[in-house]
Amino acid sequence: MGKKAVVLLSGGADSATALACAKRDGFEPYALTIDYGQRHRAELAMAQKQAARFGAKRLLLNADLRPIGGSALTADIDVPSGRSAGEMADGIPVTYVPARNTIFLSLALGWAESLGAGDIYIGVNALDYSGYPDCRPEYIEAFEAMARLATKMGVEGKTAIKIHTPLIGLTKAEIFRLGHSLGVDFSLTHSCYSPAPDGKACGRCDSCLIRLKGFKEAGIDDPLDYAVRK
């Protein structure tokens, strides 16, 4: 059995691929899923399936971010639909959740320290990243530096603290190819911000559009059902 690593597992395609990377790298994965009151709650069930598939221990933490507001993913703000690549590239979208990755990485850091693990995986990517500031390499490096000063394990120096971002330099197409090669079952992932009442992905939100484009470029069939698929 390898060293333990905490993997942030949302139930989306990226974090499922990050989990597969942790396995590939020889770690014993501990999958952390956060129920933050996201409107796309279907991803929580997918996280459970991905964790089971890769033999990861699993923890679901509740940290309800809805009272904080400020995002279309947790508050009563419309999720954008049918935007072009140019529109998506223009600034930080309303689906940005204030400090979300910082909150998630902090919770992962707490669990990691309790497990005696210094390794954390997060499936952020900086290329096709929807413009979120907390998906960039310079942010991850700053978090890592902070984490070394924040924790008992960091101060004592016996456990190296490393935030692994295996997808950070990849395009969506490259992520899907990588996940595919590592055995990710993309039918058990959820990406849509605004699913239809029957659970189908909308096919129109930024996340669906980025996913569909990525699968197309990768030359892999996206196994999900979409309400609309051009």
| Binding stretches for its own copies (CB under 8 A) | 59, 61-65, 67-71, 92, 96-103, 105-107, 109-114, 133-134, 136, 138-139, 142-143, 145-147, 149-152, 154-156
Smallest separation, CB 102 to its own copies (Å): 4
Smallest separation, CB 148 to its own copies (Å): 8
Q: Which is nearer to its own copies, 160 or 228 (CB)?
A: 160
For the purposes of burial, counting CB atoms within 10 Å of the CB of 202, is it exposed (0-12), middle (13-18) or buried (19 or more)? buried
Q: Which is nearer to its own copies, 154 or 179 (CB)?
A: 154
For the purposes of burial, counting CB atoms within 10 Å of the CB of 154, is it exposed (0-12), middle (13-18) or buried (19 or more)? buried
Beta bridge partners of 4: 28
Instruction: Tell me the one-letter amino acid at 145.
Output: A
Q: Which is nearer to its own copies, 139 or 186 (CB)?
A: 139
Collapsing DSSP states into helix, strand and coil, what is residue 180?
helix
Smallest separation, CB 137 to its own copies (Å): 10
Q: What angle do CA 7, 136, 153 make, to 5 degrees?
A: 45
Q: Which is nearer to its own copies, 110 or 220 (CB)?
A: 110
